[in-house]
Structure 1
Amino acid sequence: MYTLDLLLPVVGFGRQQAFNPQGRQQWLAAALIAAGWILATTVAAGLTRTLARR
């Protein structure tokens, strides 16, 4: 659930506040957040392109 909370930027599960990552885990959390935003942007661009074709 914590990973999904970091990975999905739009949906909040409330787990991000329950943990305090340190060291490497903090970098991993930041990478998951960045990957989530990239994923959301890619999905939004794909949906926009698909809807524009119609």
Structure 2
Amino acid sequence: MSYTLDLLIPLVDLGQEHAYNPTGGFQWLSYALVASGWILVSVIAAAVARVLSRR
């Protein structure tokens, strides 16, 4: 669980990414989690900017 959070939250380093070295299909899953994290942060930032610009 903490490894997944470490990959999903791009701006915070929980230290789990260096403790676990995925191989094979799990490595592709880790790439997908990192990409999903960046997309999630971008969407949240855009939503916050839109809410703040309406005020």
The alignment's TM-score, normalised by the length of structure 2, stands at 0.96
Cα deviation code 1:5-54 (max 9, x no counterpart): 00010111010000111000000000000000000000000000000000
The alignment's TM-score, normalised by the length of structure 1, stands at 0.97
**Whole-Å Cα distance in 2 between the matches of residues 40 and 27 of structure 1?**
20
Query: What does residue 38 of structure 1 align with?
Result: 39
Query: What does residue 48 of structure 2 align with?
Result: 47
| Gaps in structure 2 of 5+ consecutive residues | none
CA-atom RMSD, angstroms? 0.4
The sequence identity of aligned pairs, in percent, is 54
How many residue pairs were aligned?
A: 54
* SS of 1:3 mapped into structure 2: helix
| Gaps in structure 1 of 5+ consecutive residues | none
Moved over 2 A (4+): none
